[in-house]
Structure 1
Amino acid sequence: MISTQFLITVLVVVLAPGTGVIYTMAIGLGQGARAALWATLGCTLGIVPHLMAAIFGLAAILHSSALAFAIVKWLGVAYLLWLAYQAVKEGGTLSLRAERTASSGWHIGRRAALINILNPKLSLFFLALLPPFLSGVPDNATYEMLTLGAVFMLATFVIFSLYGVFAAQARRMLLTNQRAMAWLNRSFAGVFALLAGRLALERA
């Protein structure tokens, strides 16, 4: 069940920079390592609803219902655009500045969880990723999918933590460079806007 092929697949997927990674690095750069770990925790917990949807067949409903998919998708697009605005807004929650004004862990984690929760493709991803690695015994399917999903979440937490801590360390080199911070703010905003555009083009 937990084969080398599965672990390699998970590692490749988790290492690929996506919305969660960008958010975690932005938080690490702006608010430090502790805040980045809260972002990591939120991104990881945001996987749970999609894993449950895949296990109990809700992902199939999302896939077959154009309206349900569109509602979640456009909520996700709006949220990503809001994050882009927060990156360039003066005093925004994602904007980088020399003085550290850390948000509470709850708020950081909640925003991170919403990034994954409002991505309808994640449920379909689990529906496609997990079945090929099951043993084929129907009675064990739920347990096996939970186990594989737990491994995926653990890998997400570990890899995202590394991204976040690395970004927090890089923060020290940027504190005295206003131009670099302004460039990074615009870059993060641009990335979130691009991710919003890509999500807007997704189809069920």
Structure 2
Amino acid sequence: MSLAFLLTSLIVVVSPGTGVLYTLAAALTKGSRASIAAAFGCTLGILPHLSAAMLGLAAVLHASALAFAALKWCGVVYLLYMAWQTLREQGALAIDTKVEARSNVRLVGRGFLINILNPKLSIFFVAFLPQFISADESHPLARMLELSAAFMAMTLVVFVLYGLFAASVRDRVISRPKVMRWLRRAFASGFALLGAKLAFAER
């Protein structure tokens, strides 16, 4: 596995996006375990896109304007829903003093949906992964699986680190109502802006 692949993947993973925003929100309001659940859900949401890239389905998505638009607008609606829930003090920024196992399952599910409803991820992996597979590779599928596993592992580790850092300052944040109001507005705006960005995305 090349250093170029690892560095490029790291840059992609640490860049703020919906997954990072969601993981931070879960950490600040529900603690470290919740942030790990959110990070796991977001990472799991990458798997269908990687599978699509390996099976060639992303090429179909890229070619079909209808399929791309359908998935894109589902993602836009979901991100706007997340923004609305955040403003209503529900969803990602609902403060839970006691997080049950059922809540963690819900966090995983939301994180999964956030990433699976982004069609740009499938197209990204189609363009990204083949660059690191040589033309004379004897087992290209196995190589792609290896790169995909490394990318997902890196995503999980980075998101968990983001979450644990946010969880470490959680007590100082949730005890200040004014700070929480500001954070809700900031996170809601973040989800809405990412939704708008996805709405204007082209194939």
User: Fold-level match, TM-score > 0.5?
Assistant: yes
2:48 matched residue in structure 1: 49
Task: Say which of 91, 94, 107 aligns to 1:93.
Answer: 91
Pairs within 5 Å for 1:27-106: 27-90=26-89, 92-97=90-95, 100-102=97-99, 104-106=103-105
CA drift of 1:139 comes to 4.4
Q: Secondary structure at the match of 2:139?
A: helix
Q: Secondary structure at the match of 2:155?
A: helix
Checking the alignment, whether the CA contact within 8 Å between 1:27 and 1:36 is kept in structure 2 is yes
CA drift of 1:140 comes to 1.0
Structure 2 unaligned regions, length at least 5: none
Checking the alignment, whether the CA contact within 8 Å between 2:28 and 2:174 is kept in structure 1 is no
CA drift of 1:58 comes to 0.3
CA drift of 1:146 comes to 0.7
Query: 1:37 & 1:167 partners in 2: Cα distance?
Result: 11
Percent identity, please.
50
2:112 matched residue in structure 1: 113
CA drift of 1:101 comes to 4.9
1:19 matched residue in structure 2: 18
Q: How many residues align?
A: 201
1:4 matched residue in structure 2: 3
C-alpha RMSD over aligned residues: 1.2
Q: TM-score, normalised by structure 2?
A: 0.95
Which runs of structure 1 show a deviation greater than 4 angstroms over 4 or more consecutive aligned residues?
Answer: none
Structure 1 unaligned regions, length at least 5: none
Question: Which range moved further: 175-184 or 133-142?
Answer: 133-142
